[in-house]
Amino acid sequence: MESIKQLALKKIANKTKPLGSLGMLEDCAVRLCEIQQTLDPCVASKKIVVFAGSHGVAEEGVSAFPAAVNEQMVLNFLSGGAGINVLAHHGGIQLGVVDVGVDSDFNGVESTFFTRRTVRRGTRNFAKEPAMTREECAAAMEAGREELRKAAAEGVQMVGTGEMGIANTTAASALFSALLGMEAGISTGRGTGIDNERLLVKTRVVREAVIRYRTIGDSEGPLGWLRAVGGLEIAAITGFILEAAQARVPVVVDGFISTAAATVALAINHACRQVIFFSHKSDEHAHADVLRRLNADPLLDLRLRLGEGTGAALAMHLLDASAKIMCEMASFESAGVSASESEP
């Protein structure tokens, strides 16, 4: 009996076009068939979840923006003024905003798409001590898992990751150095646009953290690295991706920070690869190298570096298009078009 993948390859090959002429759209269509176990994939119902958390390592001066921006940007999301609001609305994508660890109590803040799953009000400064305890990291991951389960129960057919967390490129760079063996000078970039002086500080913080927590990483594996140098929102996205793999829901990974979470998820369970679509290559200089090391083929390269899920929102259009190609495009037989004589 032929597998869904084999049947999907035959179906896409028999569309009214030269073989392979729709490139990555064809690859995506076949993958969606595999994930959903059908020859008629549908990802019309889409949702991006933006996880937000504060980072203690911001105390080291590794970002161009103050930590107070975390709260301010969450409020901006909720008022509809951020880039992700615009792109999600443009694409007909549901949006969820989840506070897993912003250093704010958000008194009086209510929204139909805002969820409080606060583990603690920001991670500890990993330049001095591990960012999270095992229990805190597990709780943040469970918050992500719960969000995926909620989306699946609502009938969402494809999800995307987003994040907000000042200094989270520092945490992501440390995770890439630890899990992919990247030297700190390669994994660490300018993030929000820091100057040379701050870049030197940031690189030093990453390099020293990887040395400091080597014992934790060696004894506890990728979860040890996640709790030692990660962020609450990164841990939540990791749980979100792991649960997506279990539920067989396609998950569109955004940029540099979300890729760090995906790297942790893949290190924990490589089967996550089956449901992950990497949306774009970020303009953060290490991201191209990271994607190569992960053998990932991003859908877009638009020099984005905003985060928030903006790249995921744009890539979702392409994935929706690929599903419709598989379902709606005529075959040579149905259209009465002669197939190529040189192709099988």
Query: Would 115 be classed as within a structural domain?
Result: yes
Q: What is the pLDDT of residues 64-106, one digit of tens each?
A: 899 999 999 999 999 999 999 999 999 999 999 999 999 999 9
**DSSP conformation class of 77:** H
Query: Would 26 be classed as within a structural domain?
Result: no
Report angle CA 100, 275, 142 to the nearest 5 degrees: 25
Query: Would 344 be classed as within a structural domain?
Result: no
pLDDT attached to residue 1: 80
Query: Would 246 be classed as within a structural domain?
Result: yes
Look up the domain containing 297 and give its range.
Answer: 46-320
Measure the CA–CA gap between 24 and 322, rounded to whole angstroms: 9
Query: Would 16 be classed as within a structural domain?
Result: no
Q: In what order do the strands lie in the sheet with 276-278?
A: 114-116, 94-101, 46-53, 158-164, 251-253, 276-278
- Residue 158: its H or E element: strand 158-164
End-to-end CA separation in angstroms for the chain: 21
Place of tokens 């901006």: 76
Q: Low-confidence residues of the chain, pLDDT below 50?
A: none
Query: Would 175 be classed as within a structural domain?
Result: yes
* Nearest residue to 320 via CA among 123, 66, 42, 97: 42
Query: Would 21 be classed as within a structural domain?
Result: no
Query: Would 103 be classed as within a structural domain?
Result: yes
Would you state the structure tokens that stand for residue 178, as one six-digit string? 């630890």
Judge contact between 239 and 51, C-beta under 8 A: no
Measure the CA–CA gap between 290 and 281, rounded to whole angstroms: 10
* Nearest residue to 192 via CA among 63, 60, 82, 55: 63
CATH of the domain at 311: 3.40.50.10210
List residues with catalytic annotation.
308
CA atoms within 13 A on the CB side of 177: 28
pLDDT attached to residue 341: 56
pTM (predicted TM-score):
0.95
Domain count, the chain: 1
| Bridge partners for 115 per DSSP | 98
Judge contact between 169 and 58, C-beta under 8 A: no
